[in-house]
């Protein structure tokens, strides 16, 4: 059995910088035609020049592949209309992080009053720049996403023309909110379709599955699978693949992030086939994202074949999801182009 995906896209990707960028970026560029690249570097990407420079480094690291990095800016409440109009051609979205909520987010938003956010959000709405949001509060870890939903709702109501992407949703409550508002959309990760919190800490702790937001309950995973398997028009694939060195994962103070880029498409094919909805994978990994963002990615066909393979224990010094395990689908090395 085989499956050909046309211009698959990863709508939430961490590529880091320096040596890590050079190690992991080719793995995404090989299997995807484009990706929304997160801006939470040190320092974060906040200017036109920084976005252009980062894109140049990504293209150098992925030379030889048909791959378009879609750049983002780190949200600041004082971006003005003139600045955003100038930078619009260089970015696909702006990413909002609550301060300190995840990796390299210390400079994120602390005040979520609409008065504080309005100047930037009004300009974004007028210019048609999507807002991507890491939607968590600083409350109890299992409740953080649900507690953030009222903030999504206030923004969605106040700015009905603003496209708001609820990033890496993990809960049934988030799915329900997504369906209530016309201008809310969402990305769903590979790992949240596969795991619950029990897979992370139910037995021996598995640090390479620890992420933020944390995986939730079986009923939450079921809600995510329902909208993903039907390729609902408001959801799209975003891996949130977030590489960290093994030494940072297998350590006290374990870094949050699941590295899934090398296994994303085969693992999705395996999951969608098991649900008997393999025909919907194209919409989930490309078609919906193109419509939501208004994008035309590079033309690229990636052929998947139903053939088992063993996932490597490591890619350089990064441990991938499913390390050492077998997957039933793989990318045909001769036709990913």
Question: pLDDT of 215-271, one tens digit each?
Answer: 999 999 999 999 999 999 999 999 999 999 999 999 999 999 999 999 999 999 999
Q: What 3-state class would DSSP assign to 113?
A: coil
Average pLDDT over residues 271-286: 98
Residue 296's Cα: distance from chain center in Å? Answer: 18
Q: Can you tell me the mean pLDDT for 181-210?
A: 98
Q: Which of 240, 276, 313, 334 is catalytic?
A: 240
Q: What is the mean pLDDT of residues 109-129?
A: 96
The pLDDT of residue 335 is 53
Q: 109: which DSSP letter?
A: B
- Sign of the Cα pseudo-torsion (318, 274, 31, 183, in order): negative
* Number of domains the chain contains: 1
Identify whether the C-beta of residue 46 lies closer than 8 Å to the C-beta of residue 73.
Answer: yes
Percentage of the chain beyond pLDDT 70 is 99
pLDDT band at 333 (very low <50, low <70, confident <90, very high): confident
Instruction: Please compute the mean of the pLDDT values over residues 72-81 and round it to a whole number.
Output: 96
d(CA 108, CA 152): 16
pLDDT band with cut points at 50, 70 and 90 for residue 337: very low
Interval 134-179: pLDDT, tens: 999 999 999 999 999 999 999 999 999 999 999 999 999 999 999 9
Q: Which residues contact 100 (CB under 8 A, 6 or more apart)?
A: 106, 108, 138
Tokens representing 168? 């890496």
Q: What are phi and psi of 310, to 5 degrees?
A: -100, 125
Q: pTM value?
A: 0.97
| pLDDT at residue 286 greater than cutoff 50 | yes
Which residue segment(s) compose the domain that 293 sits in? 2-336
240 is catalytic: yes
Q: Would you place residue 336 in the very low, low, confident or very high pLDDT band (cuts 50, 70, 90)?
A: very low
For residue 312, pLDDT beyond 50: yes
Which CATH number belongs to the domain containing residue 290 in this structure? 3.20.20.140
pLDDT tens-place string over residues 16-33? 999 999 999 999 999 999
How many Å apart are CA 327 and CA 319, to the nearest integer? 16
């Amino acid at each position: 059995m085989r499956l050909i995906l046309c211009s698959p896209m990863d709508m939430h990707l961490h590529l880091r910088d320096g040596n890590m960028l050079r190690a992991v970026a080719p793995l995404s560029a090989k299997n995807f035609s484009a990706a929304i690249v997160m801006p939470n570097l040190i320092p974060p990407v906040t200017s036109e020049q920084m976005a252009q420079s980062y894109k140049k480094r990504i293209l150098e690291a992925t030379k030889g592949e048909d791959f378009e990095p879609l750049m983002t800016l780190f949200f600041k409440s004082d971006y003005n209309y003139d600045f955003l109009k100038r930078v619009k051609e260089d970015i696909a979205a702006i990413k909002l992080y609550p301060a300190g909520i995840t990796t390299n987010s210390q400079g994120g938003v602390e005040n979520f009053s609409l008065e504080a956010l309005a100047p930037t959000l009004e300009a974004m709405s007028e210019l048609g720049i999507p807002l991507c949001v890491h939607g968590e509060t600083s409350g109890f870890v299992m409740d953080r996403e649900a507690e953030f939903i009222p903030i999504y709702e206030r923004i969605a109501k106040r700015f009905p023309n603003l496209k708001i992407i609820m990033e890496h949703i993990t809960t049934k409550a988030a799915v329900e909110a997504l369906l209530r508002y016309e201008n809310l959309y969402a990305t769903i990760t590979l790992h949240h379709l596969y795991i619950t919190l029990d897979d992370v800490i139910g037995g021996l702790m598995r640090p390479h599955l620890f992420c933020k937001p944390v995986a939730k309950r079986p009923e939450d995973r079921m809600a995510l699978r329902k909208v993903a398997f039907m390729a609902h028009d408001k959801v799209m694939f975003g891996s949130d693949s977030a590489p960290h060195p093994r030494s940072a994962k297998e350590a006290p103070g374990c870094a949050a992030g699941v590295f899934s880029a090398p296994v994303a498409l085969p693992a999705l094919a395996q999951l969608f086939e098991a649900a008997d909805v393999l025909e919907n994978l194209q919409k989930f990994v490309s078609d919906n994202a193109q419509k939501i963002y208004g994008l035309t990615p590079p033309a690229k066909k990636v052929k998947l074949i139903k053939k088992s393979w063993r996932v490597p224990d490591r890619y350089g010094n990064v441990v991938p999801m499913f390390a050492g395990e077998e997957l039933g689908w793989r990318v045909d090395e001769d036709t990913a182009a």
